[in-house]
Amino acid sequence: MADVPMVNIKINGIALQAPQGEKVIEAARRINVDIPFFCYHPRLTMENGANCRMCLVEVATPRKNPDGSVVMAKMPKPQTACSLPVSEGMEVWTETEQVIADRRGVLEFLLINHPLDCPICDRGGECPLQNNTIHYGPPTSRFIEEKRHFPKAYPLSEYVVFDRERCIHCARCTRFTQDISGDAQLDFLFRGADMEVGTFAHTRFSSRFSGNVIELCPVGALLSRTYRFKARPWDLMTQKSICTQCSNGCNIKIDHRVSQLQRVNARVNEAVNEEWTCDRGKFGMDYVSSPDRITTPLVKRDGEFQPVTWDEINTLIIDRLQEAGAKVGGIGGTRSSNEDLYVWQKFFRQTLRVNNLDHRMGPHFRPTNSGLYARFGYHSMNNAIADLEKMKTILVFGSNLVDEQPIIYLRVRKAWRAKGAGIVEAVPRSMKTGEEANHVGEFASVRLYYRPGTEVALLHGLLNVMLYENLLSAERLGEIKNLSIVQNAVKSWAPEIAAKECGVEADAIRRAARLLATDQMAILAGETVTQHPYSEDILNALGNLAILTGNPGNINVPVTENNQQGAMDMGILPDVLPGYVGLDQPGLNTKQMLQGAVSGEIEALWISGVDLVNRFYDRDLARRALEACSFVVVTEHTLTETAQLADVVLPTQSVAERDGTFTNVERRVQRFFKAFEISPEIHPEWLIFSQLAMRMGGTAPYFSARDILREIAASVPIYQACTPRDLGDQGVRWHYPAANHTADLVGVEYRAPAAVSA
Amino acid sequence: MSEQAGYVPVVGAVAEPQPAPEKSYRFSEQAIQELEEILTHYPDKKSAILPALWIAQREYDGYLPPQAIQEVADRLERPFVEVEGVATFYTMYNLRKRGRHHLEVCTCLTCAVMGAYEVVHHLEKRLGVKVGQTTSDGEFTLSEVECLNYCGAATVVQVGDKYFGNITKENVDELIETLRNSNEFTPADLANAIVRLHIPERTAKK
């Protein structure tokens, strides 16, 4: 913004400088001059904007007379401050008699059809219309005719109810679906007094981000179906938290009352979710107040779970763990906080002296510090989420992005819409999305729906075009060692041949290659890549693509689970300690542990917060292992299928009941805070491990998650900057100490999908 | 007002979201060519929504069922609801099936002075329908419209692409009989006439 020229303006006689092009309403807000508004929103475009007319102000601009003298010329009519850019010498008045009268008039009109049913409206108490009417509105209305009548609480989407009577037609929700989420399912229908917001032919509003319109709505027209009539805003307590539904780590606010979660609202974090949430996060957090929550430790006796005290259960667990000796394994942890995970691995490694820890659910269990890390020096996602906006081209490769990474999807769409980035979508045919709401194909410049298994052929085709149509910088190619490896590998993959193999159009490969052969190109690889039998080949080929285009730091293989990144960082892996310090004698991975349980090599299994039976790629093996293993401890919120198979089930606190940190997909360590307590008998996991460790080995116990975080910051170099104080509200990203951005090319041979089973 | 000028999605008619209407494309070869030509007149496809809807109104027998809106939206690569918003904004797009002849009686100032309401009331009695309704045999739909800009021949009745001037309650029966035996002046003819306005150099359909 530095090169934007500043202009001098005056608002209510207060002189200030504002960057050219800034809207008057924004400039006024900076100096705490209140201009009321409904439809204005800084993240939505002004197309269809400036329609509520609430922000009217009086404006004068300097005008030069023919004789050279300058006079202030007042604009004949009031202007909308939300759409008027500042200009040199502009003077604005926000509290003149004229403006006050205008606001009254606007509000009288806005309230003509508004039912004024505030006492039974969920928005009452936090409603901009209510607030502005009290501050600026007329005390009465002259409208005595019949108001519009529509059915109340029309179920617009799975999560949103719509009350058309209350709508003031600000177009915030319609602009959201067009600008931000991109499904474009809401728009105005009819006109004049009949105008209403609607969907096409009364179809369901099926956006995956539908919940955001509830927060955007400045009146009570769009309301949450889950929160409806549950609480009044002034009865709610709010706590800062982090969403646990995926790895993106959206910042949220938990609104709670009587120790129950009532609703989830987004919390602003420009680096992560801006101010959006997805429906999964906004409505999927109900589990924290589920009536099925386990509230005491349970032990299975004669096939029935019976409640016991913590003291009893700890004794039992210690006995059984000591019996098992080194034949112990720990699986899971992607839902636990970094503090839990750190204490867990410390308990396993220092007290039990085993390295059998793994959070991965398969099907690949490669050494942690191999593959991408060995080549480029980072494990999963190297770019920050916000960095995606700066990209010229983004390659979405084999990822159902909106399902796997909803908030990254919104950033990718923003990169396209607001910054003009080109998007290339390359996904298996099965992921081809047609009419569904929210998919990358909606805005991708090139769409490549390849035959599953032909990923490498497709990448070879792309590189062939780049190398043989001279799309790459000759200077860079000159610097690259062993270029011939790639040249030879892709020589026979002319776009026509690759197109035939992959079942795409040769022309599409050419167009994609032209878009991708640029600096500032980022790759987002998805689950079909990581779970592919030849995923190493694909990642190597993607690495070659990144090196040749000059983007070795822009390969992203984002993790998908809530705190999966934290589980990796904290060493819930058989071969590394916290901070990816390699171990000489690695333990068993998930698959080996489960196989060991079946064969008797593992006698005790600790499953932490994961429904193993349903999440492990081989359901049958997981089930057999849990049935065969003589002692299974599960820490869980509810009695999942896995917990049913356990010998001991320990209740653990959910994200709403404790303090802690999660590390999100871009390695941002973010704090969440205790909102309420359900039962004193539910312990955080770190306390469980800490108590066991104290009784087994006499190590000093921990007293709070903050203590543990301080220890992590002191002992894990990559978390050095992550002290409780430094993290603040917005979190801190940690960086790899030595990312290797001069990696070498690797030869990749294409293996035909015939060899790939199913 | 119950069936005023064919608004399909009568608000409150549905209590919950409906399944998406099934798609069926009906644009003829000629219609597709016309649309392509019209698209060359505008900088982007969004601008062509209005003429495209007129083509659709012709191709879909003089009105725009949800399928027609879907087809236009797909051909112009716009969201369905945006096209529906346009189609519901303008009153000359018929969102509901009209009779074979759509009688649009001007009741603006001049025509009203010249007895337009007598004509309307006579037609209501004669056809057995209220303004905005269609006769049960599907022959006629009766509407009141604003000024048709033909005040010299008040009262004016527009039927399809044709204006009938100097209509009184005495001679309107004759008009009805003529129309009963005529296959011309249908809503689709009106749509075709307007499409033709967009493609002056070409001879459009019929």
Mean pLDDT of A29-40: 94
Return the structure tokens found at A149.
């009548």
Instruction: For residue B15, give how far its alpha carbon lies from the nearest alpha carbon of chain A (Å).
Output: 7
What pLDDT does A739 receive?
A: 63
Return the structure tokens found at B93.
């797009």
> How far is residue B38 CA from its own chain's centroid?
20
User: Which of A181, A197, A224 finishes a domain?
Assistant: A224
Q: Is residue A434 assigned to a domain?
A: yes
Using DSSP, state whether A486 is helix, strand or coil: helix
Mean pLDDT of A25-37: 95
Cα separation, B7 vs A170, in Å, equals 23
**ipTM of this predicted complex?**
0.89
What are the backbone dihedrals phi and psi of residue A437, each rounded to the nearest 5 degrees, phi first?
Answer: -75, 150
Q: How confident is the model at residue A504 (pLDDT cuts 50, 70, 90)?
A: very high
Question: Domain B101-183 carries which CATH code?
Answer: 3.40.30.10
A100 in the same domain as A11: yes
Provide the mean pLDDT of chain B. 89
Q: How confident is the model at residue A362 (pLDDT cuts 50, 70, 90)?
A: confident
What pLDDT does B13 receive?
A: 61
A92 in the same domain as A14: yes
Query: pLDDT tens-digit profile of A386-439?
Result: 999 999 999 999 999 999 999 999 999 999 999 999 999 999 998 887 667 888
Least-confidence region, from A259-273, A739-753, B29-43: A739-753
Q: How confident is the model at residue A480 (pLDDT cuts 50, 70, 90)?
A: confident
Question: Domain B20-95+190-198 carries which CATH code?
Answer: 1.10.10.1590
What are the backbone dihedrals phi and psi of residue A689, each rounded to the nearest 5 degrees, phi first?
Answer: -65, -40
A89 in the same domain as A31: yes
Give the CATH number, domain containing residue A81: 3.10.20.740
Contact A415, A443 (CB under 8 A): no
Instruction: Indicate the pairing of strand A576-577 with strand A6-11.
Output: unpaired
Cα separation, A415 vs A420, in Å, equals 6
Return the structure tokens found at A76.
């004949």
Least-confidence region, from A131-140, A255-264, A552-561, A734-743: A734-743
What pLDDT does B4 receive?
A: 39
- What is the pTM for the complete model shown? 0.93
CA-based nearest residue in chain B for residue A178:
B79
The range of the structural domain enclosing residue A207 comes to 111-224
CA-based nearest residue in chain B for residue A193:
B89
User: Which of A556, A588, A604 finishes a domain?
Assistant: A556
CB neighbour list of residue B33: distance below 8 Å, 6 or more residues apart: none
Least-confidence region, from A567-576, A746-755, B4-13: B4-13
What pLDDT does A120 receive?
A: 94
Burial environment of residue A444 by CB neighbours within 10 A (0 to 12, 13 to 18, 19 or more) = buried
A686 in the same domain as A579: yes
Mean pLDDT of B160-177: 94
Q: Is residue A235 assigned to a domain?
A: no
Return the structure tokens found at A271.
């680096």
CA-based nearest residue in chain A for residue B81:
A200
Q: At what angle do helices B49-59 and B29-39 cross, to 10 degrees?
A: 170
Query: pLDDT tens-digit profile of B109-121?
Result: 999 999 999 999 9
Query: pLDDT tens-digit profile of A647-685?
Result: 999 999 999 999 999 999 999 999 999 999 999 999 999
A712 in the same domain as A567: yes
What pLDDT does A162 receive?
A: 95
Q: How confident is the model at residue B12 (pLDDT cuts 50, 70, 90)?
A: low
What pLDDT does A180 receive?
A: 93
Cα separation, A572 vs A578, in Å, equals 8
What pLDDT does B58 receive?
A: 95
Query: pLDDT tens-digit profile of B73-100?
Result: 999 999 999 999 999 999 999 988 999 9
For tokens 């003298």, the residue is: A69
The answer to whether the Cα torsion of A262, A263, A264, A266 is positive or negative is negative
Q: How confident is the model at residue B5 (pLDDT cuts 50, 70, 90)?
A: very low
Helix (H) or strand (E) holding B198: helix B187-198
When comparing pLDDT for A435 and A350, which is higher? A350
Q: Is residue A448 assigned to a domain?
A: yes
What pLDDT does A740 receive?
A: 62
What pLDDT does A744 receive?
A: 81
Q: Give CA separation, A84 vs A33, A46, A311, in Å.
A: 16, 11, 68
For tokens 């009949």, the residue is: A194
Cα separation, A662 vs A672, in Å, equals 8
A740: nearest Cα among A278, A391, A373, A463: A373
CB neighbour list of residue A560: distance below 8 Å, 6 or more residues apart: A246, A247, A404, A405, A527
* Cβ contact B69–A155 (<8 Å): no
Give percent helix, percent strand, percent coil of chain A, each to the nearest 5: 35, 20, 45
A308 in the same domain as A167: no
Mean pLDDT of A505-515: 95
When comparing pLDDT for B158 and B203, which is higher? B158
A344 in the same domain as A203: no
A568 in the same domain as A687: yes
Least-confidence region, from A73-82, A504-513, B196-205: B196-205
Give the CATH number, domain containing residue A414: 3.40.228.10
Q: How confident is the model at residue B15 (pLDDT cuts 50, 70, 90)?
A: confident
Show residues of chain A in contact with B11, CB under 8 Å. 150-151, 164, 196
| Residue ranges covered by each domain of chain B | 20-95+190-198, 101-183
A211 in the same domain as A333: no
CB-nearest to B89 from A154, A191, A202 is A191
Q: Is residue A233 assigned to a domain?
A: no
Query: pLDDT tens-digit profile of A319-341?
Result: 999 999 999 999 999 999 999 99
Instruction: For residue A475, give how far its alpha carbon lies from the nearest alpha carbon of chain B (Å).
Output: 40
What pLDDT does A757 receive?
A: 43
Q: Give CA separation, A296 vs A102, A202, A305, A312, A639, in Å.
A: 61, 47, 11, 12, 12
Show residues of chain B in contact with A200, CB under 8 Å. 20, 66, 69-70, 79-81, 84
Q: How confident is the model at residue A615 (pLDDT cuts 50, 70, 90)?
A: very high
CA-based nearest residue in chain B for residue A443:
B77
A175 in the same domain as A30: no
* Cβ contact B80–A201 (<8 Å): yes
What pLDDT does A685 receive?
A: 94
What pLDDT does B7 receive?
A: 41
Provide the mean pLDDT of chain A. 93
Q: Is residue A240 assigned to a domain?
A: no
User: Which of A556, A582, A597 finishes a domain?
Assistant: A556
CB-nearest to B79 from A150, A184, A188 is A184
Percent of chain A exceeding pLDDT 70 equals 98
Q: Into how many domains does chain A fold?
A: 4
